[in-house]
Amino acid sequence: MSICVVYPSGKLGDLIWHLPFFKHISSHTKQKVYLITRSSTRSKQLLKNETYIKDIFYNEFKKGTTNYFLEVLKIKNFFKQQKIKEVWILDKISRPAIAAKISGIKKIYGYGVGAQNFYITNKSRLSKKDLFLHYIERGVKFFKTINIPINYTPPSINIDQDLLKKTKNLFSGQTKKTIIVYGVDSGEMWKSWPQERYVELIKKINHQHKNIYNVLVASPKNIKYAEEILKNTNIKEANNLSYLLIEDVACLLRLADFYIGNDNGLLNLAAALNTKSIGIFGATRSLSHSELIYPVVSKTGEISTKTDRLLDSRGRVIKDKSLMLRVGVEDVLKKFNFLFEKK
């Protein structure tokens, strides 16, 4: 019997949060699972060493009526080719539920919100209000609702050891130094700390501590953005490695002593790779699912206590980059110094 898990988000951090759920399904069914997700997660490269995943299939979940029906057929064909007998949809999306239904699959599990409600087979479903919960809280509630409770533990990722050895060559001569990786951008740039604050932070860390090696990482489209930060620090012991592939970045994060960055995918990836990670949360509520994520929030407190982002009166996310100014350089520096002293 073949099992398929569908997770349609294209965000790396969201995918990482869901790894314990994928593993839980594999454990419950006693089968390795197929995973359908978006290519922007780069999960084929990151998850190739996970023993609970059999294979990964990319589907982009594009908007538009034509794309909707084309993707239903595409997913249906995948189910047929892989002889899928059980589907788990960790989202409210309806396309894979419809594809499973017309494929004659008898076990179709999903959150049951919206149109998906007509096609899934689990009787207990989540409510619309549950969609406002954090992804982890939502997933935990879903499995509890269908009587397959999960003891959620922080996600972890296995690294290719040969690739890890090759990545070490990037730090030849730097092994006795403290390596800090800075994740300076975000898939949603309004959640990014200003460039000038990264510049100030890096300068202060290197002024207060000796033998620091600084590495900046951003997405390929923001290489120049990271380069501007690096240039303005005027520090020799630094490098911009934003050109690396995601599997190389994973090795880099595994080798680092610390990660400092925005609420983005790399923050969650670093923690999943057992690296102490300082997250800057000015525009979003801080994370608490991993002991390796050390959040820095504004002195005035969390952006919201009820939702993971600030919402307006109509329930829409307020995407205001000035919210990141709520966290000061000294706030982050204080957290780093605390962790550095415990190193």
Q: Which of 33, 31, 45 is nearest to 7 (CA)?
A: 33
Q: Name the phi and psi angles at 40, rounded to 5.
A: -65, -15
The domains located in the chain, with CATH, are 2-145 (3.40.50.2000), 162-342 (3.40.50.2000)
Residue 305 has pLDDT above 90, yes or no: no
| CA–CA distance, 44 with 39 (Å, rounded to integer) | 8
What average pLDDT is seen over the chain?
Answer: 95
Q: Which residues of 293-312 are buried (b: 16+ CB within 10 A; e: fewer)?
A: bbbbbbeeeebeeeebbbee
| CA–CA distance, 79 with 57 (Å, rounded to integer) | 11
For 129-172, the pLDDT digits (tens) are 999 888 999 999 999 999 999 999 999 999 999 999 999 887 77
First CA to last CA distance, the chain: 47
Q: Report percent pLDDT > 70 for the chain.
A: 100
For 308-322, the pLDDT digits (tens) are 888 898 889 999 999
Q: Which of 95, 69, 78 is nearest to 34 (CA)?
A: 78
Q: Which residues of 31-62 are buried (b: 16+ CB within 10 A; e: fewer)?
A: bebbbbbbeebbbbbbbeebebbbebbebebe
* Residues 6+ away with beta carbon under 8 Å from 315: none
Q: Of 105-114, 191-200, 259-268, 281-290, give the lowest mean pLDDT range.
A: 281-290
Q: What is the mean pLDDT of residues 233-253?
A: 96
pLDDT in the model for residue 175 = 67
* Sign of the CA dihedral running 105, 106, 111, 112: positive
| pTM of structure | 0.93
